[in-house]
Amino acid sequence: MSDIEEVLDQSIASEGYIIYEDPAGYNTKVDLSQIDFEALRRHFEKSRKHTEVEKLKGMINAKLNKLVRLNKSRIDFAERFQKMIDEYNSGAMNVEIMFDKLLAFAKELTEEEKRGISEQLTEEELALFDILTKPEPKLTNKEKNQVKKAVRELLETLKREKLVLDWRKRQQARAAVLITIQDYLDRELPRTYTPEIFNRKCELVYQHIYDCYYGAGQSVYSRVS
């Protein structure tokens, strides 16, 4: 319990729980999988409940900040979290219900953090996979495996050949990245993608690469342990 208390104390936040950009590339390291939620629930019953809710909110916010930075398709988690906080602050739910909801939500985040393992994808591969498969098109398992293969090979190609130092500052380098994305996905994605969906996905993939990869091996993934 002392270890849990230490993590919670370090995570407490006194302000709003909005997901902020982190241009420096650093995040509070919070490992929800190491928390004994049943022990935490028993501790809650014996403690100042409002204080424990604030601590747990802070811990979840720190974890969400990292997860959303690495994969923006997780923004729905952030929206659900903010909705819970708004309802709690408005008095729509009492402290016991809020704590139970936060515990359940923390467990969901733990499962989300492990999803890449079940999909046999790294965190950066999973981000691209989610862009290409959510919310559409609907794919068979065989087609999903084809997308996974495309994601792995596209990332390898971009990092090896195109994401050079300061690539985002040079128009020719940016164009080369976009063309590589379009050509490779056109060749490797299942035919399930309509032209409209395909074009939209290419734009989203390019924007993700632009936002997350700085060049010369530097990215949000290389800066976060």
pLDDT in tens, 132-186: 999 999 999 999 999 999 999 999 999 999 999 999 999 999 999 999 999 999 9
pLDDT at 206 over 90: yes
- Residues 29 and 6: their CA atoms lie apart, in Å, by 13
Mean pLDDT throughout 117-132?
97
pLDDT grade for 210, boundaries at 50, 70 and 90: very high
Mean pLDDT throughout 44-67?
87
- The mean pLDDT value of the chain amounts to 86
DSSP result, the chain: -HHHHHHHHHH--SS-------TT-------GGG--HHHHHHHHHTS-HHHHHHHHHHHHHHHHHHHHHH-GGGHHHHHHHHHHHHHHHTTSS-HHHHHHHHHHHHHHHHHHHHHHHHHT--HHHHHHHHHHHSS-----HHHHHHHHHHHHHHHHHIIIII--TTGGG-HHHHHHHHHHHHHHHHHHS-TTS-HHHHHHHHHHHHHHHHHHEEETTEEHHHH--
pLDDT grade for 42, boundaries at 50, 70 and 90: confident
Q: What is the pTM of this model?
A: 0.79
What value does the CA radius of gyration of the chain take, rounded to a whole number of Å?
20
pLDDT at 22 over 80: no
Q: Residue type at 62?
A: A
CA-wise closest residue to 184 among 161, 164, 211, 167 = 161
pLDDT at 31 over 60: yes
Residue pair 57/13 in contact by the 8 Å Cβ criterion: yes
The pair of structure tokens assigned to 168 is 């985002």
Could you give the count of Cα atoms lying within 13 Å of 65 in the half-sphere of its Cβ?
24
CA-wise closest residue to 79 among 90, 91, 68, 70 = 68
Residues 6+ apart with CB under 8 A from 187: none
Domain-wise residue ranges, the chain: 2-117, 123-223
